[in-house]
């Protein structure tokens, strides 16, 4: 088994800008290789040092030359070719022995990175993976704090080693530019910006994200002492244009949006509902429901009690008339025994305020999905609460649904003060349904206390049901499998 070669980008210098993957691979490697000048100090190793571990084999790769002046018979390129041939042999010996080799590289390995010379010599012989890193251009742009390019603008990346005339020509024709490899080339690069008529718009960034970081207008920089780890930036035409500050209410169209939160947390929230909550300036709702929305300091929250739906709706409209975008939150779906009706009723007195209803996953859907597919055929939805309608109406509707052989989803089955309605409903249903009719009891579905019980109509125990439950009463065709899954076939006998 041969080892694997990794070219790992370390980013621009700040060890915290190393990617999670790069940090993991550095810590797991058998061999750590890095380039260094002849004095032996390696910037790459210093960046990666927090992630090294004891016992790793280190392979420092000392450059034979740092300038293009050399006595090598093959000149500068010949010296580098011999250097990389020797480095390739050293790393190949580790790979042949089955060791994992990580080659550290500042910035990105394949963006003017030294690793690329090893990659070209080894990647066709051994498994090789390149881990990208944050480039010096990205770091310098972030430090400068100005957009480099936007929309259709074109970015040109140039090495400062190009001839002055070519640099100036490319700078004239570029929307935006980054010139790397300054150091000894700085004076030539600055002259090229001046010749292109772009010097006044150019910036100099030195050692971005490292100690000694420096930002200055390019025209003001003294050529003496400019390090290799610096670059010149020319932002695109849009980069320096600051749009006028909009009025405080710009982009906010006053409206009331009734938002369904679904039965539980964020996984049950639709993208449309997330957007409505995120773009609101004010949130209105029953306090436990508001508590399910993460706080945002730029938004105002208006919690209310449970039995003031009409007042809550009118308050939302008054806020909207002040120029606010108001989200009225509702558990489940706002149009199913929830806030949408109250809001639309109040809307008749506020014809100037637009209203939008954003649906949510209902409790019936959530419980049905957990159980299987009990709502697979015709079904109806009823509430056992007799706070807003008389029990006689509830009983008549239960009877009609039972006679029609509909699956019945029952909301608000019981509370601390309403305990007799569910036994009465069970007894009424037993007059028209078989005792072994499947019944699903879903409690706090999607929440931390979720439970699901499958029983029969005859064995339904009202004492086990509270306000956080939803019941699904099966029809004559509803089935329970051996695995406990409940479904209603789509075909009817």
pLDDT in tens, 66-100: 665 666 777 777 788 899 999 999 999 999 999 99
Give per-residue burial for 442-478: e unless 16+ CB within 10 Å, then b.
bbbbbeeebeebbbebeebebeebeebbbbbbbbebb
Query: Domain 364-487 in CATH: superfamily?
Result: Tetrapyrrole methylase, C-terminal domain (3.30.950.10)
pLDDT of residue 15: 95
Is the distance from CB of 479 to CB of 486 less than 8 angstroms?
A: yes
pLDDT of 209 higher than 60: yes
pLDDT band at 39 (very low <50, low <70, confident <90, very high): confident
Is the distance from CB of 30 to CB of 94 less than 8 angstroms?
A: yes
- 137-234 matches 255-361 in fold: no
What are the distances in angstroms from CA 133 to CA 100, 136, 168, 273? Answer: 19, 9, 29, 36
pLDDT tens digits, residue range 247-289? 555 556 789 999 999 988 888 899 999 999 999 999 999 999 9
pLDDT of 493 higher than 60: yes
Alpha carbon distance 91, 33 (integer Å): 8
pLDDT of residue 253: 74
pLDDT of residue 460: 94
pLDDT of residue 360: 94
The alpha carbons of the chain give a radius of gyration, in whole angstroms, of: 35
pLDDT of 242 higher than 70: no
Q: Which of 149-153, 216-220, 242-246 has the lowest mean pLDDT?
A: 242-246
What number does CATH give the domain 255-361? 3.40.1010.10
pLDDT of residue 448: 87
**CATH of the domain spanning 137-234, picked from 3.90.79.10, 1.20.1730.10, 3.30.950.10, 3.30.420.40:** 3.30.950.10
CATH C-level class of 5-133: alpha beta
Question: Can you tell me the mean pLDDT for 44-55?
Answer: 95
pLDDT tens digits, residue range 395-415? 999 999 999 999 999 999 988
pLDDT of residue 305: 80
Residue 36, beta-bridge partner list: 62
Question: Can you tell me the mean pLDDT for 214-235?
Answer: 92
Question: Can you tell me the mean pLDDT for 216-239?
Answer: 90
Question: Can you tell me the mean pLDDT for 57-66?
Answer: 86
pLDDT of residue 119: 96
pLDDT of residue 178: 96
pLDDT of residue 137: 96
What are the distances in angstroms from CA 475 to CA 82, 206, 380, 466, 472? Answer: 83, 75, 11, 23, 10
Residues in the chain, how many? 493
Is the distance from CB of 337 to CB of 293 less than 8 angstroms?
A: no
pLDDT of residue 239: 63
Question: Can you tell me the mean pLDDT for 218-240?
Answer: 88
pLDDT of residue 405: 95
Domain ranges of the chain: 5-133, 137-234, 255-361, 364-487
Alpha carbon distance 80, 43 (integer Å): 20
pLDDT of residue 315: 95
pLDDT tens digits, residue range 284-312? 999 999 999 998 989 999 998 877 889 99
pLDDT of 237 higher than 80: yes
pLDDT of residue 68: 59
pLDDT tens digits, residue range 447-468? 888 999 999 999 999 999 998 8
Over the chain, what is the mean pLDDT? Answer: 91
Q: How many CA atoms lie within 13 A of 16 on its CB side?
A: 2
pLDDT band at 13 (very low <50, low <70, confident <90, very high): very high
User: Residue 476: what are its φ and ψ, rounded to 5°?
Assistant: -70, -20
Is the distance from CB of 144 to CB of 214 less than 8 angstroms?
A: no
Question: Can you tell me the mean pLDDT for 20-30?
Answer: 97
């Amino acid at each position: 088994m041969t080892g694997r070669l990794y070219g790992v980008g370390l980013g621009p210098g700040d060890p915290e800008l190393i990617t999670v993957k790069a940090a993991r691979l550095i810590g797991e490697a058998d061999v750590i290789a890095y380039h260094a000048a002849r004095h032996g100090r390696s910037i790459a190793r210093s960046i990666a040092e927090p992630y090294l571990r004891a016992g790793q084999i280190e392979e420092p790769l000392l450059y034979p030359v740092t300038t293009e002046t050399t006595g090598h018979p093959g000149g500068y390129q010949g010296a580098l070719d011999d250097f990389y041939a020797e480095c390739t042999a050293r790393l190949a010996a580790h790979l042949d022995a089955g060791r994992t080799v990580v080659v550290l590289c500042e910035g990105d390995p394949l963006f003017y990175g030294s690793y690329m010379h090893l990659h070209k010599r080894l990647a066709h012989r051994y498994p090789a993976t390149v881990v990208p890193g944050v480039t010096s251009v990205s770091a310098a742009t972030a430090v400068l704090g100005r957009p480099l390019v936007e929309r259709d603008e074109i970015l040109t990346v140039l090495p400062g080693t190009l001839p002055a005339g070519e640099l100036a020509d490319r700078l004239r024709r570029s929307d935006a530019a980054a010139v790397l490899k300054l150091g000894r080339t700085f004076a030539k690069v600055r002259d090229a910006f001046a010749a292109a008529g772009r010097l006044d718009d150019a910036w100099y960034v030195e050692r971005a994200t490292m100690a000694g970081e420096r930002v200055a207008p390019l025209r003001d920089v003294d050529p003496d002492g400019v390090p290799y780890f610096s670059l010149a930036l020319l932002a695109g035409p849009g980069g320096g244009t600051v749009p006028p500050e909009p009025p405080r209410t710009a982009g906010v169209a006053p409206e009331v949006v009734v938002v369904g939160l679904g039965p539980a947390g964020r996984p049950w929230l639709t993208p449309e509902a997330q957007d409505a909550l995120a773009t609101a300036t004010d949130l209105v709702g029953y306090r436990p429901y508001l508590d399910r929305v993460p706080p945002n300091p730029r938004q105002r929250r208006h919690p209310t009690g449970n039995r003031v739906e009409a007042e809550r709706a009118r308050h939302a409209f008054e806020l909207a008339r002040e120029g606010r975008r108001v989200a009225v939150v509702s558990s489940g779906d706002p149009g199913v025994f929830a806030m949408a009706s109250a809001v639309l009723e109040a809307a008749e007195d506020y014809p100037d305020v637009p209203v939008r209803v954003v649906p949510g996953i209902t409790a019936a859907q959530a419980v049905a999905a957990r159980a299987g597919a009990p709502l697979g055929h015709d079904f109806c939805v009823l509430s056992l609460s007799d706070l807003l309608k008389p029990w006689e109406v509830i009983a008549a509707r239960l009877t009609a649904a039972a006679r029609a052989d509909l699956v019945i989803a029952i909301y608000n089955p019981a509370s601390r003060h309403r305990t007799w309605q569910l036994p009465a409903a069970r007894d009424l249903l037993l007059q028209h349904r078989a005792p072994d009719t499947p019944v699903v009891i879903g409690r706090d579905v999607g929440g931390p206390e979720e439970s699901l019980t499958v029983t029969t109509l005859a064995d339904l125990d009202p004492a086990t049901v509270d306000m956080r439950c939803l019941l699904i009463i099966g029809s004559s065709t509803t089935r329970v499998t051996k695995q406990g899954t409940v479904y209603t076939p789509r075909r009817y006998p």
